Amino acid sequence: MKKFDNFISQFTDYVRRIQMQPRIRDVVREQLSAYADLHALTEGTVLTATRSRFLERINVNIFRVGFAILIVAVGTGGVAYASHDALPGDTLYPVKVGVVERLESAMLYDAKTRATWNAILAERRLSEAAALAVRGELDEETRLKLEERFEYHAARSAIAADEVRAKGNVAVALAVHSDLEARLAAHADLFSYLATEEGEAKKMLGTIARVRDTASAARQKTEAEIPGHLLAYDADDIDATASVTEEVARIAQGAGDTATGGIDARITAARAALSSARDSMARDESGVAYVATQVAARLTHEASILSKNRSLIALGKPSAPSPTPADTAAPAPAAASVSPVNSATMMMKVPDVSITATTSTEATTTPEEESEEDEDNAAQEETSSRDQPSSSESNESTSSETSKVESTVKKIINVLPGI
Amino acid sequence: MDQTELKADFLRTYDTYANDIYRFCAVKVTNRELAQDLTQEVFMRFWQTVRDGEKLRNERAYLYTLARNLIIDWYRKKKESSLDVLTDQGIDFGNDDHKKIEESAQMREVLEVINQLDDDAREALLLRYVEGFTPKEIAAMSGETANAVSVRINRAIKKVQGLIQAT
């Protein structure tokens, strides 16, 4: 029995040391706080708890705006959809981050999907910050909140990618690590255009660069683990990536604006990486070819993001961007110093997991991610209108839709009793 | 108590029990990120219950009940490996001496034993000895009788004793 007691003692000691990371705990706390606001108590709620401090006596009140919004959101998919355009400070923003994104997140159990989804959310927070910065509405409080959420999602993306790697899917892990890095690197460039002297955008840029460096290190570490030969990887996958690269190049061609340099440099480097990948494949070094193709995919993804945000960049200061060395350096075929993108977006077959090969009109998105990308860039597209002749028309249209929804929400709030 | 006060109480409850619920989830699902998600979901459901005015006797036990049910739902969808995954993934320990713990041969033996237990036995030991619930409280969570829970705990103890003897 003494042995058993010792066992229990050690087991207890071990398990009780398991704790949430303080930062994660704080972020969850913040989200719960927002959730409680959004799901405020209904009037007349009476709790008759017998013991709990928390549940003692309540005869409550309050029906907050958030609850009315929730009713609308649940009742009409339109509001939930419209909330994708919302920015911090908008009426619908709590619906976007507190309801819609949470519901979407709750569906994801697969580590790869979670990694990509969190990378999308991290980028979404950056896009929101960029949109606010362009409007001159990015204050310190909002920046800090967006930074916190951005870092949270970036961290979770990296953790999920590491989970994939831990299960032996190194090629897929490389793809998802690269996906995050591509989004961060492109937005670091974007913010370098937007940053003024000592403004909030500049502070945000510092945070993005730091997180990007972390993501880059994780990607390089994974890259080094790619074996020299990948069984299911072949030249068709290189061609698929090349077609996407050329599509992005075609869309970005002749823009003649501030962002063109960054985009062109990436397209050039992506082509060089693809050429290197073909050489490696000819030598039957499919693993090396895969890494080089991933480099091309990452650079293409970055170019695509910058291209989508060209009009936004044009509104920022016309200074040179500061891409990472890995962005501009000619990619090497070896796994050491080059960085891939997004095979979640760039669709390649990898040895242990098959990723569908598709080329979308938006160049770097798979069908499944295309809709996410659409949502993802909704905020950006308020100020970014690459394919539209008049960005102001687009903005007015989007703003008009959002205003309608907000107006509806306000009407409902006014009609509901006890508000 | 108005919304503001109630919310403050809710957040204090979170501050008090977040680590406990996270730990319970982490041991059960052996996945750090999923445990975080489950913990958040537990407290969201807890808030919903409070908001709906349901009568609760023991908030701590209720939180574990919510966690347990969510984990059961998750297990129906997917089931994963062993406690070793916790350390492989770098599960978060409250202090910085986890390496020392992991390196401990004794701790490794403990984990080897725990990993050989089935889910019921592992949960019984966790709730009884780590979390300190009585069989009656555990019974309230699982919908069993206190007697059935006691039997389960005893079986777990015997199983552990057998495994210890074998090592």
- For the stretch B68-124, pLDDT in tens is 888 887 777 655 444 444 444 444 444 444 455 555 566 667 777 877 888 888 888
Show the tokens assigned to B132: 């300190």
pLDDT band of residue B132 (cuts 50, 70, 90) is confident
Q: Are B111 and B42 members of one domain?
A: no
* Distance, CA of A102 to CA of A65 (rounded, Å): 19
- Summarised one tens digit per residue, pLDDT across range A221-243 is 998 888 887 767 777 788 888 88
Strand partners, A46: A59
Show the tokens assigned to A190: 């974007």
Tell if the CB–CB gap between A39 and B48 is shorter than 8 Å: yes
Number of compact structural domains in chain B: 2
Q: Are B5 and B79 members of one domain?
A: yes
Q: Is the dihedral of CA A47, A50, A53, A56 positive or negative?
A: positive
Among the partner residues A3, A18, A62, nearest to B164 by beta-carbon distance: A3
* Distance, CA of A378 to CA of A336 (rounded, Å): 35
Q: Does B75 touch chain A (CB under 8 A)?
A: no
Residue of chain A nearest B80, judged by CA positions = A167
Strand partners, A18: B93
Q: Does A163 touch chain B (CB under 8 A)?
A: yes
Q: Are B70 and B98 members of one domain?
A: no
Give rounded-to-5 percent helix, strand, coil for chain B. Answer: 75, 0, 20
Q: Closest Cα partner for A211 from A247, A185, A172?
A: A185
Q: Letter for the amino acid at A282?
A: A
Burial of residue A66 (number of CB atoms within 10 Å: 0-12, 13-18, 19+): buried
C-alpha dist (Å) from residue A259 to A76, A138, A302: 39, 22, 12
Show the tokens assigned to A61: 């009140």
Tell if the CB–CB gap between A10 and B157 is shorter than 8 Å: no
Q: Closest Cα partner for A380 from A117, A187, A99, A92?
A: A187
Residue of chain B nearest A61, judged by CA positions = B2
Q: Closest Cα partner for B93 from B23, B15, B163, B165?
A: B23
Q: Are B61 and B106 members of one domain?
A: no
* Distance, CA of A346 to CA of A138 (rounded, Å): 33
Tell if the CB–CB gap between B53 and A48 is shorter than 8 Å: yes
* Distance, CA of B11 to CA of B16 (rounded, Å): 9
Among the partner residues A10, A46, A64, nearest to B110 by beta-carbon distance: A10
Residue of chain B nearest A57, judged by CA positions = B1
Q: Phi and psi for A351 in degrees, rounded to 5?
A: -55, -40
Q: Are B47 and B116 members of one domain?
A: no
Residue of chain B nearest A35, judged by CA positions = B44
Torsional class of A86: left (φ above 0), alpha (ψ -120 to 50), beta (otherwise): beta
Residues of chain A with C-beta less than 8 angstroms from the C-beta of B94: 16-19
Structural element, H or E, at residue A45: strand A45-47
Q: Are A290 and A402 in contact (CB under 8 A)?
A: no
Structural element, H or E, at residue A47: strand A45-47
Q: What ranges in A167-199 are assigned the alpha helix state H?
A: 170-194
Residue where a domain terminates, one of B85, B116, B134: B85
Tell if the CB–CB gap between B94 and A4 is shorter than 8 Å: no
Residues of chain A with C-beta less than 8 angstroms from the C-beta of B2: 60-62
- CATH number for position B77: 1.10.1740
* Distance, CA of A333 to CA of A289 (rounded, Å): 7
Structural element, H or E, at residue A60: strand A58-60
* Distance, CA of A56 to CA of B105 (rounded, Å): 48
Strand partners, B93: A18
Residues 2-31 of A with CB under 8 A from B: 3-4, 7-8, 10-12, 14-21, 24-25, 28-29, 31
* Distance, CA of A324 to CA of A185 (rounded, Å): 7
Bridge-based pairing of strands A58-60 and A45-47 is antiparallel
- CATH number for position B117: 1.10.10.10
* Distance, CA of A132 to CA of A126 (rounded, Å): 10
* Distance, CA of A405 to CA of B21 (rounded, Å): 38
Q: Are B70 and B23 members of one domain?
A: yes
Residue B146 or A65, more confident = B146
Among the partner residues A39, A45, A53, nearest to B53 by beta-carbon distance: A45
* Distance, CA of B97 to CA of B40 (rounded, Å): 27
C-alpha dist (Å) from residue A186 to A192, A302, A315, A324, B73: 10, 5, 17, 10, 39
Residues listed for chain A: 419
Determine the structural domain holding residue B100 and report its residue range.
93-167
Q: Would you call B49 helix, strand, or coil by DSSP?
A: helix
Q: Are B38 and B112 members of one domain?
A: no
Q: Are B39 and B62 members of one domain?
A: yes
Residues listed for chain B: 167
Residues of chain A with pLDDT under 50: 44-77, 317-399, 401-402, 404-406, 408-419
Q: Would you call A58 helix, strand, or coil by DSSP?
A: strand
pLDDT value for A208: 92
Q: Closest Cα partner for A243 from A348, A351, A368?
A: A348
CA-based nearest distance B19→chain A, Å: 5
Q: Are B64 and B37 members of one domain?
A: yes
pLDDT value for A256: 52
Q: How many CB pairs under 8 A join A and B?
A: 166
Q: Are B60 and B31 members of one domain?
A: yes
Residue where a domain terminates, one of B56, B85, B114: B85
Q: Are B102 and B148 members of one domain?
A: yes
Q: Does B91 touch chain A (CB under 8 A)?
A: yes
Q: Give the best residue of B38, B55, B112 to mutate against chain A (max A CB count within 10 A).
A: B55
Q: Give the best residue of A26, A46, A54 to mutate against chain B (max B CB count within 10 A).
A: A54
Structural element, H or E, at residue A375: helix A367-376
Q: Are A94 and A34 in contact (CB under 8 A)?
A: yes
Q: Does B58 touch chain A (CB under 8 A)?
A: yes
pLDDT value for A369: 38
Residue of chain A nearest B38, judged by CA positions = A106
Q: Are B1 and B51 members of one domain?
A: yes
Q: Does A168 touch chain B (CB under 8 A)?
A: no
Residue where a domain terminates, one of B28, B54, B85: B85
- Summarised one tens digit per residue, pLDDT across range A120-131 is 999 999 999 988
Strand partners, A58: A47
* Distance, CA of A372 to CA of A45 (rounded, Å): 39
Residues of chain A with C-beta less than 8 angstroms from the C-beta of B9: 53-54
Q: Is the dihedral of CA B71, B75, B77, B82 positive or negative?
A: positive
Tell if the CB–CB gap between B130 and A15 is shorter than 8 Å: yes
pLDDT value for A41: 65
Q: Does B42 touch chain A (CB under 8 A)?
A: no
Residue of chain A nearest B162, judged by CA positions = A4
Using alpha carbons only, give the angle A69, A70, A74 rounded to the nearest 5 degrees. Answer: 120
Q: Letter for the amino acid at B1?
A: M
Q: Give the best residue of A32, A97, A112, A114 to mutate against chain B (max B CB count within 10 A).
A: A32
> What pTM was estimated for this model as a whole?
0.47
Residue A74: CB atoms within 10 Å = 12
Tell if the CB–CB gap between A20 and B39 is shorter than 8 Å: yes
Tell if the CB–CB gap between B111 and A14 is shorter than 8 Å: yes
Residue of chain B nearest A103, judged by CA positions = B41
* Distance, CA of A249 to CA of A363 (rounded, Å): 9
* Distance, CA of A395 to CA of B48 (rounded, Å): 38
